[in-house]
Structure 1
Amino acid sequence: MRLLLLAVLRPHTGNAVTAQRVRAHLEAAGHVCVLKDAFDFGSPSEIANLILAENCEAALALHLYRAGRLLQGHRIPFGIIFGGTDVNEDAKQKEKNTVMGRVLEEARFAVAFTESMKEMAQVQWPHAKGKIYVQSQGIATTPNATFNWNTFLQRSEWHQDEPSVYLVIVGPEVDPVFTREVKAKVKRAAGVRLIGEMPQGDLHAAVKNCFAVVNSSVSEGMSAAILEAMDLEVPVLARNIPGNAAVVRHEVTGLLFSTPQEFVHLAKRLVSDPALEKEIVTNGKAYVRMYHSWQVERDTYQQLIRKLEGSSED
């Protein structure tokens, strides 16, 4: 089939990486995937023109609201992959909630990353219960063997008693206002480095060379950064929110914190307790291998896409 794959494609973001991975899964099964950025289109009519121009037979959207709403009313079958923003944020807004419910009515299937995401979606949109599947993100890390941290870091005191500790913040600048706030705070914080977006191989290499990975998000669906750190055998400290707690078991596969003070306490404990570090790393690697298989994810999407074969009903 010739498929339209619609997602938010800001470079080096989790959404873009997931979309590229799903496209690879589908193309491996012989499908042709036309990958487009949802933010390049303002209405379903623009997507209708794209579908016609690209001769697409079916579609798949990453994010129920951001991308899925653009597929409403077309005469091709489509599926949806939930994002954390869908169930954690957009579902709270009445207008968006209504739109997402209508999209689910038309969708042939929907995919949630966790059981908790599926349950939240079923509460919001009970009519979709029979079409929501769970497939965790599949992880396969590829560190760049030539990566050198010295390109990014210069010596600076973190604080007087532990000058060797650094906090490195990596990622693209998505929100201009938030970016300015972060940059202003980083300038006043010794030992903190802010690095822009990086190619995935370099990012994996950077993670591999770190003592731990921190996820301080207040809203997550499923953090690929956490899973990649586990796969790379690097300890994880994550904010205790549902999306993170779904993949991190406290003191088993990582450490969960709720306050800045608790984060500092747990970070210092991790640094001073090699046995805890080893246990977390070992358990995290085993967890990713068991529950986040890249091959299982490939098989699932290749099977689900068969639900889009043939024309939709008039």
Structure 2
Amino acid sequence: MRLLFLAVLRRHTGNAVTAQRVRDHLEAAGHVCILKDAFDFESPSEISSFIKAENLEAAVALHLYRGGRLLQGNGIPFGIIFGGTDLNEDVNQGDKNKVMGKVLEEARFAVAFTESMKETAQRQWVDPVFTREVKAKVKRSPGVRLIREMAQEDLHAVMKNCFALVNSSVSEGMSAAILEAMDLEVPVLARNIPGNAAVVKHEVTGLLFSDPQEFVQLAKRLVSDPALEKKIVANGKEYVRKYHSWQEERQTYRQLVRTLERSTED
């Protein structure tokens, strides 16, 4: 089957890494998967022309609004993969929320990476300013450095040489960085928000903090307690193996795409 895969492909981001991984799964199953940046298209009509020119039979989009809205009304079956921005940000904007609901009605399947993302979606249906704020905050913070995006293999090498990974996000869907750290046997300290708490169980697979003071306390505890570090590292590694298996993910996407294949035969 010839598939179109739409995603936002800014280099060295979680979206780009996820999109590449999913494409590898689909191509390993024998499909032709054409990965395109959703920002390269301005309207469904442009997508329609591309679909016809490439003789595409079905499509998958990463992000319900950014990618999924471009696939509406194009006459081919498609599925969507939720992104954190969908459920944490876009869902709170009336116009976008309405569009996303329409996309879901047309999609043949929807993938949520965690139960909390799934529950958020079910409750609802079934950026430059922030970047400037972060940079300004970093400049005012002694000992903190802002590093640009880097290739995944370089990032993993850096992570392996760190004592711990800290995720201080105030909004997450599923943090690929947390899962990568767990797989690399690096302890995780994460802000206690729903997206992080869905993958980090406090004092089991990592440590969750709610404010700066608690972060400092937990970081000091982690430094001084080798037994705790050993426990959360082992449990984190096992969690990734059990619930985010690369092999099982590949098989799941193969099965989902088969539903699109059957749709073209009906």
Q: What is the TM-score of this pair, normalised by structure 1?
A: 0.81
SS at 1:34's partner residue?
A: strand
Distance 2:120 2:141 in 1: 39
For each residue in 1:255-283, what CA deviation from the matched residue of structure 2 results, as whole angstroms up to 9, or x when unmatched?
Answer: 00111111111111111111111111111
Answer with 114-123 or 215-224: which moved more: 114-123
AA aligned opposite 1:71: L
Distance 1:122 1:184, change over 3 A: closer
Distance 1:115 1:203, change over 3 A: same
2:193 to 241, 250, 263: 241
Distance 2:135 2:105 in 1: 43
Kept in 2: contact 1:234–1:281 (CA 8 A):
yes
Q: Tell me the CA shift for residue 176 of structure 1.
A: 4.1
Distance 2:53 2:178 in 1: 39
SS at 1:95's partner residue?
A: helix
Aligned equivalent of 1:191: 143
Task: Give the gaps of 5 or more residues in structure 2.
Answer: none
Aligned equivalent of 2:31: 31
Question: Superposition RMSD on alpha carbons, in Å?
Answer: 1.6
AA aligned opposite 2:43: S
Aligned equivalent of 1:150: none
Distance 1:30 1:267, change over 3 A: same
Distance 1:176 1:212 in 2: 28
For each residue in 1:99-146, what CA deviation from the matched residue of structure 2 results, as whole angstroms up to 9, or x when unmatched?
Answer: 1111111111111111222122122223xxxxxxxxxxxxxxxxxxxx
Aligned equivalent of 2:173: 221
Is 1:262 the counterpart of 2:217 in the alignment? no
Q: What is the TM-score of this pair, normalised by structure 2?
A: 0.95
Aligned equivalent of 2:71: 71
Select the structure of larger CA radius of gyration: 1
Kept in 2: contact 1:75–1:312 (CA 8 A):
no
Distance 1:270 1:302, change over 3 A: same
Q: Tell me the CA shift for residue 189 of structure 1.
A: 3.1
Kept in 1: contact 2:57–2:264 (CA 8 A):
no
Aligned equivalent of 1:116: 116
AA aligned opposite 2:219: A
For each residue in 1:1-26, what CA deviation from the matched residue of structure 2 results, as whole angstroms up to 9, or x when unmatched?
Answer: 11000001110010010000000000
Task: Give the gaps of 5 or more residues in structure 1.
Answer: 127-174
SS at 1:221's partner residue?
A: coil
Is 1:296 the counterpart of 2:239 in the alignment? no
Is 1:231 the counterpart of 2:183 in the alignment? yes
Which one has a larger percent helix, Structure 1 or Structure 2?
Answer: 2
AA aligned opposite 1:234: V
Kept in 2: contact 1:229–1:235 (CA 8 A):
yes
SS at 1:193's partner residue?
A: coil
